[in-house]
Chains A and B, each alone.
Chain A
Amino acid sequence: MVDATDAAFIALTAVTIGGAISALEAKEIIYGAVGLAASFFGVASLFFLLDSPFVAVFQITVYVGAVAVLVLFTVMLVREGRWFGDSMGPVASFAALLTVVALVFSLVLSFFAAGLSNTSEQAPAPSFLGIGQLLTGHYAPVLEVLALVLAASVLGALTLAKVERPSTSDSTAKGDAGDQKGGRGGA
């Protein structure tokens, strides 16, 4: 018996996993970036299914809204034609595939051995109030450190992206850009 929730869950699983696979295997990397955005969206919808709307909206805002766009811009900046076949050889890929299948299989077996498949009776849904109390109470220092980390990473990214032009404005400015050592000094 398949009801609406099950159907939604199966469809979202397909979108999430399929988007992730297409992100890695699409020939054109720009389609891979779109597939990655679809995968993020699928994960956000799974959060909705898990009665976590706040996290879901946060995921859409940050991942689909910011990270996916950032990735798209980077792909457009560093795009080149010879990106076809950018993985290891077929033997290494097959070995990696076998290893990953074994890994996932053992993980799934361990879930069922731990009896987690019986855990379908749900706890009461976590509330916005609880998140707010945790964020402003016990985890307030974490939030502030996280703000510092964000500021530091923005400064670091800006420092890395800065192109230092020599005083004599010739065309060697592009080549010298990577020689600066201040990239990690953003903190």
Chain B
Amino acid sequence: MTVALSDYLVVSALLFGVGVYGLVTKRNAMRLVFSVEILVNAANINFVAFNRFLWIPSLGQTAVLFSIALAAAEAAVILAIVVVAYRVHDDVDVSELKNLKG
């Protein structure tokens, strides 16, 4: 028995499920950041797995490089926003941050 493409896809789907669950149920801004990073990782596994098993030379890996760099930039901005929100509100509960609500 060798590890097939679908095995990696199942791992990716499980990781995706964990990320969606966290994104839906958590109210702590840090946990939401964790969830978003988990979702990005699930997508990256898909890219690399398809690149490995189907014949598209290196395209998936290149896409993952871009994706990782973008996710890092996004994490930096989100964490700065969390720090500012904590400084202003003394709290990072996203259900309490309603200043922009219309």
- Give the docked Cα–Cα distance between A49 and B20 (Å): 26
Q: Can you give 24 contacting A-B residue pairs, CB < 8 Å?
A: A20-B15, A20-B18, A23-B31, A24-B18, A40-B37, A50-B52, A55-B48, A63-B37, A67-B37, A67-B71, A74-B82, A77-B86, A78-B86, A86-B31, A96-B21, A103-B20, A104-B16, A108-B9, A116-B5, A120-B2, A123-B54, A158-B80, A175-B88, A178-B84
Determine whether the beta carbon of B24 is less than 8 Å from that of A96: yes
Contacts of A97 in B (CB 8 A): 21
Q: Is B100 an interface residue (CB 8 A)?
A: no
Of A3, A40, A100, which one neighbours B41 at CB under 8 angstroms? A40
Chain B: minimal CB distance from A85 (Å): 10
Using C-beta atoms within 8 Å of the partner chain, give the interface range for chain B. 35 or more
Of A17, A70, A156, which one neighbours B75 at CB under 8 angstroms? A70
Name A's B-contacting residues (CB within 8 A): 1-3, 5-6, 9, 13, 16-17, 20-21, 23-24, 29, 32-33, 36, 39-40, 43, 46-47, 49-52, 54-55, 58-59, 62-63, 66-67, 70-71, 74-75, 77-78, 80, 83, 86-88, 92-93, 96-97, 99-101, 103-104, 107-108, 111-112, 116-120, 122-127, 130-131, 133-135, 139, 142-143, 146, 149-150, 153-154, 156-158, 160-161, 174-175, 177-178, 183
Name B's A-contacting residues (CB within 8 A): 1-11, 13-22, 24-28, 30-31, 33-35, 37-38, 41, 44-45, 48-49, 51-55, 57-62, 64-66, 68-77, 79-88, 91-93
Q: Provided the pairs A13-B11, A23-B34, A101-B17 are in contact, do residues A134 and B72 lie with their beta carbons within 8 angstroms?
A: no
Contacts of B77 in A (CB 8 A): 153, 156-157, 160
B-side interface mostly: helix
- Give the docked Cα–Cα distance between A35 and B98 (Å): 30
Q: Provided the pairs A67-B37, A116-B6 are in contact, do residues A178 and B88 lie with their beta carbons within 8 angstroms?
A: yes
Of A21, A62, A77, A130, which one neighbours B18 at CB under 8 angstroms? A21
Determine whether the beta carbon of B75 is less than 8 Å from that of A67: yes
Contacts of B83 in A (CB 8 A): 74, 77-78, 160-161
Determine whether the beta carbon of A24 is less than 8 Å from that of B35: yes
Q: Provided the pairs A86-B26, A112-B6 are in contact, do residues A177 and B87 lie with their beta carbons within 8 angstroms?
A: yes
Of A16, A87, A143, A149, which one neighbours B11 at CB under 8 angstroms? A16
- Give the docked Cα–Cα distance between A5 and B6 (Å): 15
Of A63, A78, A103, A111, which one neighbours B17 at CB under 8 angstroms? A103
